[in-house]
Amino acid sequence: MSEGAQERTIESIRVGRRLRRDLGTLDELCESIQRFGLLQPITITPDGYLICGLRRLEACRRNGDRTIKVWVRSGLSENLRLMLEAEVQENTCRLDYSPTEAAGLYAELKAILQEEASRNQRAHQFGAAGVPTVGTPVGNAAKQAALAVTGTRSDLTHERVLEVTRLADDESAPELLRAVAKEQLTVMEEQRTVKGPYAQVKVAEASTTLVSLLSEDLPVTFREETAHALQRLEEATTTDERLARAREAMARAKEGRARPKAPARQTELRTAPVEPRQYAVRALVGTLQETDYWWTHYDPAEVGRALTAAQWEQFTDWIDQSVAFYEAVRAVRES
């Protein structure tokens, strides 16, 4: 049977268990259909299983109609077709969808509901004035799809699974981030949980973004704030903390991308002060404590690729001068 607008007998339309919901009052809808006709067809599979439009179907049935306008939607996945065809009997419908299976069904059904909502808007835009809108509003498609798949308003959970899946499949994403996303998808499947693995991926995404941002020329203050955000992200312990700090980190990264870049630092302008200020030893001890094992927080390969020629010269000079200072301090201690 081809896809598109058709007419079917009401008795031939079959409703799977997962689409049965409290219909509420149908009086206004019944009256509207009697006065103006059914402006928006219900949506069904080629085999006659209802996808959306249960209230319209029942209103036409109450009005005594024998036929109804339908929109036949073909091209469904096998999993979605089986879900829609699940009848009242409990054992005919799988309830143990894995997170990725449920998210896949949710995404497919949401897209169909959004298509139906768009047709509904067009139908009422050019239909009779004053006709109540029927069907699924565009904004409710996610919730309706989640209810059909899991029986709960779990659209946020499904969206998180889809987000991780997109990252795992995105060839333009950093390889390390893709690896984390793939690993956490496996955790989702094995442990049947989403929030914790999703938080791990969001932390990895935020961390990768901040590290990349720190490789750019940034104002000193903003660089310090960014480094602090990265540290806070790494110190988060609970799932909620990880998600909150990942959101903060991504907001900071977005702000950093929007800021004008600092001019490239010129090596020849970097000279030691003529009369350098002398600090107390406790200031040095504090600096050592704050930067202890700093080299463990960076990837040499990434640093080697990222530093500009001027930055590399500055880094080399910093190391050389630090070694010279160390040798002078050691000579005093040994004497």
Choice between 1 and 88, residue whose per-residue pLDDT is larger: 1
Residue 307: exposed, middle, or buried by beta-carbon count in 10 A (0-12, 13-18, 19+)?
middle
Output the six-digit token pair for 245. Answer: 């700090």
pLDDT of residue 203 exceeding 70: yes
Q: Which residue has the higher pLDDT, 159 or 236?
A: 159
- pLDDT band of 238, cuts 50, 70, 90: very high
Same domain, 81 and 23: yes
pLDDT interval class at 222 (50, 70, 90):
confident
Task: Provide the domain count of the chain.
Answer: 3
- Residue 138 resides in a domain: no
Three-state SS at 25: coil
Please, are residues 13 and 48 in contact by the beta-carbon 8 Å criterion? Answer: yes
Q: How confident is the model at residue 156 (pLDDT cuts 50, 70, 90)?
A: very high
**Residue 151 — left, alpha, or beta (φ > 0 → left; ψ -120 to 50 → alpha)?**
left
Q: What is the pLDDT of residue 199?
A: 94
User: What pLDDT, on a 0 to 100 scale, did the predictor assign at position 267?
Assistant: 46
- Assigned domain for 274 exists: yes
For residue 317, the model assigns a pLDDT of 85
**What's the rounded Cα separation, in Å, for the pair 98 and 105?**
11
Residue 302: predicted pLDDT? 84
Q: What is the pLDDT of residue 276?
A: 67
Domain match, 223 and 273 both: no
The mean pLDDT of 8-32, rounded to a whole number, is 81
Residues 168 and 252 in one domain: yes
Same domain, 252 and 275: no
> Which pLDDT score is estimated for 17?
66
Tokens 């946020």, residue? Answer: 156
Return the number of other C-beta atoms located less than 10 Å from residue 292's C-beta: 8
- pLDDT class for 58, splitting at 50, 70, 90? very high
Q: Which of 208, 227, 258 is the last residue of a domain?
A: 258
Q: Once rounded to an integer, what is the mean pLDDT over residues 306-320?
A: 84
**% of the chain surpassing 70 pLDDT:** 81
The whole-number pLDDT of residue 217 equals 73
Rg of the chain on CA atoms, in Å: 31
Q: What is the pLDDT of residue 226?
A: 82
Q: For the chain, give the mean pLDDT.
A: 82
**Within a domain: 103:** no
As given in the structure block, the two tokens for residue 115 are 């298509």
Asked if residues 56 and 133 have their Cβ atoms less than 8 Å apart, the reply is: no
Alpha helices in the chain (DSSP H): 27-36, 54-62, 78-85, 99-125, 141-150, 155-169, 175-191, 195-214, 220-235, 239-258, 281-290, 300-306, 309-334
Question: Above pLDDT 90, what percent of the chain?
Answer: 27
Check pLDDT > 90 for residue 24.
Answer: no
- The pLDDT score that the predictor gives to residue 115 is 85
Whether the pTM exceeds 0.85: the reply is no
Q: Is 51 helix (H, G, I), strand (E, B) or coil?
A: strand
DSSP structure string for 215-247: TS---HHHHHHHHHHHHHHHH--SHHHHHHHHH
Structural domain of residue 313, as residue ranges? 269-334
Of 201, 223, 258, the residue that ends a domain is 258
Do both 279 and 240 map to the same domain?
no
Cα distance between residue 192 and residue 103, in whole Å: 12
Beta bridge partners of 42: 70
Given a contact cutoff of 8 angstroms between Cβ atoms, the answer to whether 12 and 48 are in contact is yes
Indicate if 253 and 283 belong to the same structural domain: no
Question: Which band of pLDDT confidence, cut at 50, 70 and 90, is reported for residue 162?
Answer: very high
Nearest-5° Cα angle at 132, 130 to 138: 125
Say if residue 280 is in the same domain as residue 250.
no
Interatomic CA distance for residues 41 and 119, integer angstroms: 9
- Where does the pLDDT of residue 55 fall: very low under 50, low under 70, confident under 90, or very high at 90 and above? confident
Q: How far apart are CA 71 and CA 6, in angstroms?
A: 6
Please give the average per-residue pLDDT across 291-297, as a whole number.
82
Please state the rounded mean pLDDT for residues 295-303. Answer: 85
Residue 167 has pLDDT above 50, yes or no: yes
Nearest to 127 by CA among 221, 213, 211, 33: 33
pLDDT band, residue 272 (cuts 50/70/90): low
Cβ proximity of 71 and 41 under 8 Å:
yes
In a domain, 122, yes or no: no
The yes-or-no verdict on residue 166 having pLDDT over 90 is yes
The residue that leads in pLDDT, 335 or 30, is: 30
Render pLDDT for 95-140 as a digit per residue (tens, 0 to 9).
568 899 999 999 999 998 888 888 777 766 655 545 555 555 545 8
CATH assignment at residue 66: 3.90.1530.10
